[in-house]
Amino acid sequence: MQWDATEYDAKHDFVFKYGESLLSLMPTAPGKVLDIGCGTGELSQELAEVGFDVVGVDQSEAMLEKAVAHFPAVDFELGDILNYAGKPAQYDALFSNACFHWIRAQDRLANVMHRLLKPNGVLVAEFGGQGNIQTIADGFSHELAKFGIAYQSPFYFPSVDDYRDLLKRHGFQTVDLETYARPTPLKDGQAGLRNWVAQFFASDLEALTTDQQTQLFDELDEALAPKLWHGDHWEADYQRLRVRAQA
């Protein structure tokens, strides 16, 4: 997926703003931290400001260009966490916000994370859990089918039990999980839902002409308004999974 970093910061900055509350789960003694899927770097910077030695990694060049420009004191690296070449037992903590649901190879991810953590190191993360954006995805799938295209979800939205079992299989000893509904207001009033869909379902939309996309957006707005329109803004039906696990 290609990310528009400027659009992301302007329209979808709720992603990192909601992630700020994750910082309270980090260890009290600062150490070396890898921020997985750091995006435009806001939370990497906040970790650095409270004393952590931070490395931010992301596979989007556009995102990292903004991160480096805005936060030059933080060490940012371009790369895929699944192929991350960091030394074993290198980090005191791993941190990630709104990233893991984009990764399908979850066994490989869990193995990499456990390898990178020092003994008793901590993983702190939040991402989409079971039922996340279900209303939007079902509506989008229905509208896309009108053009003869079957929606294939790119996401991993696990249950609490499934994710606990995954981490324990890969050596994490203590796994604390919380799931909660987080209805999320979208910016730009009536245009908010289509802005969101254009960003996060971009690969599906590429198969449609401009006119077809406009038709899909219009019909999706009409179909989802009874559930997600709140007078002057849309609210995305987010369901989050928050984890704190110890290696």
Residue pLDDT, tens place only, 223-246? 999 999 999 999 999 999 999 999
Q: How many angstroms separate the CA atoms of 232 and 46, rounded?
A: 32
pLDDT in tens, 64-76: 999 999 999 999 9
Q: How many angstroms separate the CA atoms of 174 and 170, rounded?
A: 12
What is the model's pLDDT at position 157? 98
Evaluate whether 98 touches 132 at the Cβ level (below 8 Å): no
From 150, 118, 155, 148, select the one nearest 27 (Cα to Cα). Answer: 118
Q: In the numeric block, which tokens belong to residue 9? A: 């910061």
pLDDT in tens, 118-158: 999 999 999 999 999 999 999 999 999 999 999 999 999 99
Residues paired with residue 95 on neighbouring β-strands, in sequence order: 35, 124
**pTM confidence score:** 0.90
Taking only Cα atoms into account, the Rg of the chain, rounded to an integer number of angstroms, comes to 19
Q: How many angstroms separate the CA atoms of 114 and 120, rounded?
A: 10
Query: Residue 163: what are its φ and ψ, rounded to 5°?
Result: -75, -35
Q: What is the dihedral of CA 205, 209, 210, 216, to 10 degrees?
A: -60
Q: How many angstroms separate the CA atoms of 124 and 242, rounded?
A: 8
Per-residue pLDDT band for 20 (boundaries 50, 70, 90) equals: confident
Q: Is 50 exposed, middle or buried (0-12, 13-18, 19+ CB in 10 A)?
A: exposed
Q: How many angstroms separate the CA atoms of 122 and 126, rounded?
A: 13
What is the model's pLDDT at position 165? 98
How would you list the strands of the sheet with 174-185, edge to edge?
75-78, 53-58, 32-36, 91-97, 117-128, 235-246, 174-185
Chain-centroid distance, C-alpha 183: 15
How does the average pLDDT of the chain come out, rounded? Answer: 93
- Helix or strand or coil: residue 59? coil
Q: In the numeric block, which tokens belong to residue 167? A: 């981490």
Evaluate whether 142 touches 223 at the Cβ level (below 8 Å): yes
Per-residue pLDDT band for 3 (boundaries 50, 70, 90) equals: very low
- Helix or strand or coil: residue 208? coil
